[in-house]
Each structure stands twice: as C-alpha cells, then as structure tokens.
Amino acid sequence: MLKISVTKYGEVSPFVVDKIFATISECYKAIGEPVTECVDVHMIEKAVGEIFFATHDALQGKPIITVYVDKFLEMPELVGLAGVRRQAAHSVLHGSPEYYLIRFPQDLIRVMRQHNLPQGYANTFLYGTAMAVKEYEVTKLLYKKDFVGDQLAYARYILDLSREDILAWKLVLRNRWERILHLVSIIRDISCAVPLAQDEQFGHEVRNRIERRLAHITPAYRSSIQEIIYRKFPLLGANTLENIDLLTKFAVEDLID
C-alpha cells in the first residue's frame, strides 16, 4: 500500500495540509498510484526566490512533491489544486530518476558540436524540451481521467501573457542563442494546454489563448512553434524518454537548423 509521507517546514496550517493531502490522495484513486512504496510531500511555509508553487522530482529514487504554501495560497483555488494534481500525476508517470537524469539526444549533441555550444546551454535546452514532454503527458493523463475543469483553469493561467513575457522577448531578440532558449521555454509553457486544444467543447478557446500567447513573437518563429505544437506533439507516443528524444529533435530542426 502506498504511503504518503508529509513533512512541514515552517508554520503550515492543518487546514492547508489536509487540503493538499486529500487532493493528492483523491488523484491517486483516479489515475493510479506510483510504482514506489512511498511518496514524500514537502509543504514549505515560504518560497525563496522565483519558484513555482508546486514541483515534483524523483532524483532521490522516489517521488517528492513540494508545495510552497505561500505561493499556493496566492493562486486561485482551482488553479492551485490543479497544480497539486499535476505533481501527483508526475509522480505516477515520471516517478523515478531516469526521467530526470536524461541522456543527451543525438540531435542535440550534433548541434552542440556544429555550433560549439557550451554544456550549460545544451543542458538548458534539454531541460526545456524534457519538461515540455512531461507537462504534455500529465495533461493527457488527467484529461483522460476527467480532471477537465481544473486543468482548463490551469492552462488559462499558464497561457496568460504578461508584460514580463513581452519584455523578455524584446531582450532576447539581440542574441540568437538566447532567443532559441526563450522559444523552448515558451513551448514548455504551452505544452500543458496542447492536449486540451482538441476538445470539442473548449478546444477553440484553448487554441485562441495559445495564439494570443504567441502573438508578440516574430512571425517566422511563431510559425515554427505552431508547427511543433499542432503537428509534432501529436506524433509523441507512450514512452516518455523516446518522446523527449523526439521533441528535442523537432526543436533542433525547427529552431536551430
């Protein structure tokens, strides 16, 4: 039987602990449990720096879900709970170190050598494409298991274009390689919404929101991202590591080559 081990850091109210624990438990009942015997849930009173309100990793050999409570409470409730469910889904789909210690795809090795790219640059590129695949897979699973309304709310939140997004694009226009990494980060952000874009009821809205998220980008690059989102993502299969290789290949071809 799966054990969910909760550790609090700082002052975290029992009400918040119970709500997060119940959300994770409910999600496991709907989508299945991780293959490990235990999932660690860390609830941290206050985040330090620019950190997303909920994260997952498995680098220690088991799933660890971390919720930064101050940031979680700043979210609209539906979005916050959707984000917690997403981390539970990550623990089911990506709950072992192999999904975080990823070997370099051959296409990325090729362009590293061709353009003399530093290791740190390639690491960031691969991190972006790997995260895009995993976020896409999480939405597909939750959508299939009827977590629809909350995931739509989450996608709307992530797709919201901010002034910071527009400024960041203006800044990276000065440097081709910074620009490409920024485009990968945009694909990563949009990936959580891609499985929702085909829904008969609200798919049109999701596609419109994606287009608004891309509206400030140079037309040629916008077209490249649209190609990846609408034509390449549907080619991904059931194997996460193969999907990471494939999406990295697509990103290299469409953004670098």
* 59-87 burial: b if 16+ Cβ within 10 Å, else e: eeebbbbbbbbebbeebeebbbbbbbbbb
Domains, in order of start, for the chain: 3-99 (3.30.2010), 106-256 (no CATH)
Separation CA 64–CA 95 (nearest Å) = 8
Helix (H, G, I), strand (E, B) or coil at 201: coil
- Which alpha helices (H) appear in 75-202, and where do they start and end? 77-93, 106-115, 119-144, 149-159, 163-172, 176-191
| Cβ count within 10 A of residue 152 | 21
Distance between CA atoms of 183 and 201, rounded to whole angstroms? 29
Q: What is the pLDDT of residue 188?
A: 98
How far apart (Å, rounded) are the C-alpha atoms in residues 135 and 56?
11
Q: What is the DSSP string of 207-254?
A: HHHHHHHHTTS-HHHHHHHHHIIIIIGGG--S-HHHHHHHHHHHHIII
Q: At what angle do helices 176-191 and 219-227 cross, to 10 degrees?
A: 40
Q: Which of 144, 107, 143, 141 is nearest to 126 (CA)?
A: 107
Q: What is the pTM of this model?
A: 0.96
The whole-number pLDDT of residue 50 equals 86
* pLDDT given for residue 1 in this prediction: 81
pLDDT tens for the chain, 257 residues: list them.
899 999 999 999 999 999 999 999 999 999 999 999 999 999 999 999 889 999 999 999 999 999 999 999 999 999 999 999 999 999 999 999 999 999 999 999 999 999 999 999 999 999 999 999 999 999 999 999 999 999 999 999 999 999 999 999 999 999 999 999 999 999 999 999 999 999 999 999 999 999 999 999 999 999 999 999 999 999 999 999 999 999 999 999 999 99
Residue 42 token pair: 């860390």
Q: How far is CA 185 from CA 39, 132, 165, 169, in A?
A: 28, 8, 11, 11
Residue-wise burial string across 109-129, b where 16 or more C-beta atoms lie within 10 A, e elsewhere: eebbeeeebeeeebeebbbbb
Which two structure tokens, joined as six digits, stand for 234? 């549907």
- What is the three-class DSSP state of 66? strand
